[in-house]
């Protein structure tokens, strides 16, 4: 990564185009996306400012304020409670419609993954503040809290203080600090997609941090490649851009999606729950675990209650000294971290076979209504109800 963070006043100047000019460029960009065979997007902090997360080089950005000797007061809760922006959700829609082939991001706020971007199509170059990995076995964990080292001694000490549940190895945060190398696998995957891309859209990035900025540069310099840059400030790659848009990311993307006739979905918080029941000589064992859509262990539960037994720490495992007969029910009460004011959820699981079972539930929470919906992964409806229906 680059070692310098601060810019001259001229570089910080923001430029805004007139709405009709933005609309013309949005229509042209939509046509480019429609015709593209390998479309990639490169995002920076500017895509998250509308979610209340400060950028770095804007007038109120972290590095701008530091350069002016002003205090930076961003709360760590800011990223956990932030609602993904229209741009975040537009990228999810482009993923689901097949237009977007890969997303490369400099952001560490976790909003792309939380919005619904699948792990296999994103390269988070500078890490994810909600993701940690095991130094020994490489297992990754997604957390509904900041999985970041305390950095009491140095920012280069990435130990979070937690242990891997599989091998008890040390867990390390995934953040990349100035002076550190980017993960080879992540950077290599991003570069491979850039070398295939015929269109790269940059959203909300000053393109001044190396080597991340080399990804869109690959597309801009390649014969037949088109680079489109949307940012309020000048970037070093403006001269390579086939189109330069001077506006906020949301202003552009709402128009682009309209011309593509691809609706931007509302944000729905999606969780996945694995439930295992194992027969024992005197009863059975129940284990409950959060999983991401790709199978990555995910921590989003504060506590789990199975019948009358309460677990407050992972892994959630319960010994029940009762016979669990086929077609009998099992009641789980789930309490969440609650960053979006999610109410507790009561889940009624139907135990069917009388043998060991593994079931996965999709839990979806709508922040606008304060309601949960649940569904078995196989598509069968699960009996569940919110213990509280308080909306945000």
Which residues sit in the known binding site for Zn(2+)?
134, 137, 164, 167
Pairing relation of β-strands 131-134 and 269-280?
A: unpaired
Q: Which two tokens stand for residue 85?
A: 């922006």
Of the candidates 115, 111, 74, 113, the residue with the CA atom closest to the CA atom of residue 93: 115
- Angle subtended by helix axes 214-221 and 184-196, to nearest 10: 20
Q: Which two tokens stand for residue 189?
A: 């995957």
126 in catalytic set: yes
Q: Which two tokens stand for residue 253?
A: 């993307």
Q: Which two tokens stand for residue 120?
A: 């296999």
Determine contact, residues 297/142, Cβ cutoff 8 Å. yes
Which listed residue (88, 99, 112, 126) is catalytic? 126
Give φ, ψ of 341 to 5 degrees. Answer: 60, 35
For residue 159, give the 3-state DSSP assignment.
Answer: strand
93's torsion region: left (phi>0), alpha (psi -120 to 50) or beta? alpha
Residue 329: other Cβ atoms inside 10 A: 10
Residues involved in catalysis: 126
């Amino acid at each position: 990564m680059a070692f310098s963070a601060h810019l001259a006043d001229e570089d910080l100047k923001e430029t805004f185009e007139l709405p009709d000019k933005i609309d013309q460029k949005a229509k042209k960009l939509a046509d480019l996306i429609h015709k593209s065979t390998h479309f990639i997007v490169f995002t920076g902090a500017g895509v998250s400012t509308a979610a209340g997360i400060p950028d770095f080089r804007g007038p109120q950005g972290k590095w701008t304020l530091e350069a002016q000797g002003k205090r930076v007061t961003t709360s760590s809760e800011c990223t956990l409670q932030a609602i993904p922006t229209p741009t975040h959700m537009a990228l999810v829609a482009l993923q689901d419609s097949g237009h977007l082939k890969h997303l490369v991001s400099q952001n560490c706020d976790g909003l792309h993954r939380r919005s619904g971007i699948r792990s296999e199509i994103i390269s988070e170059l500078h890490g994810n503040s909600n993701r940690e990995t095991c130094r020994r076995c490489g297992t990754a964990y997604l957390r509904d809290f900041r999985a970041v080292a305390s950095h009491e001694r140095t920012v280069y000490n990435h130990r979070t203080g937690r242990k891997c549940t599989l091998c008890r190895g040390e867990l390390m945060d995934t953040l990349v600090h100035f002076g550190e190398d980017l993960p080879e696998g992540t950077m290599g995957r991003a570069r491979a997609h850039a070398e295939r891309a015929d269109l790269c859209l940059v959203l909300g990035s000053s393109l001044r941090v190396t080597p991340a900025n080399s990804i869109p540069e690959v597309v801009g310099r390649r014969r037949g490649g088109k680079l489109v840059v949307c940012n309020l400030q000048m970037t070093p790659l403006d001269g390579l851009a086939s189109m330069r848009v001077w506006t906020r990311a949301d202003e552009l993307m709402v128009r682009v999606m309209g011309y593509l006739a691809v609706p931007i979905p509302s944000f729905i918080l999606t969780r996945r729950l694995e439930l295992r029941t194992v027969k024992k000589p005197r009863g059975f064992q129940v284990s409950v675990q959060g999983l991401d859509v790709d199978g990555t262990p995910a921590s989003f539960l504060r506590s789990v209650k199975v019948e009358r037994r309460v677990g407050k720490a992972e892994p959630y495992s319960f010994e029940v000294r009762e016979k669990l007969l086929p077609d009998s029910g099992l009641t789980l009460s789930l309490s969440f971290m609650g960053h979006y004011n999610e109410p507790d959820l009561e889940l009624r699981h139907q135990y069917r076979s009388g043998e060991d079972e593994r079931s996965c539930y999709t839990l979806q929470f709508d922040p606008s209504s304060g309601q949960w919906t649940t569904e078995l992964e196989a598509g069968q409806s699960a009996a569940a109800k919110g213990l509280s229906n308080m909306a945000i």
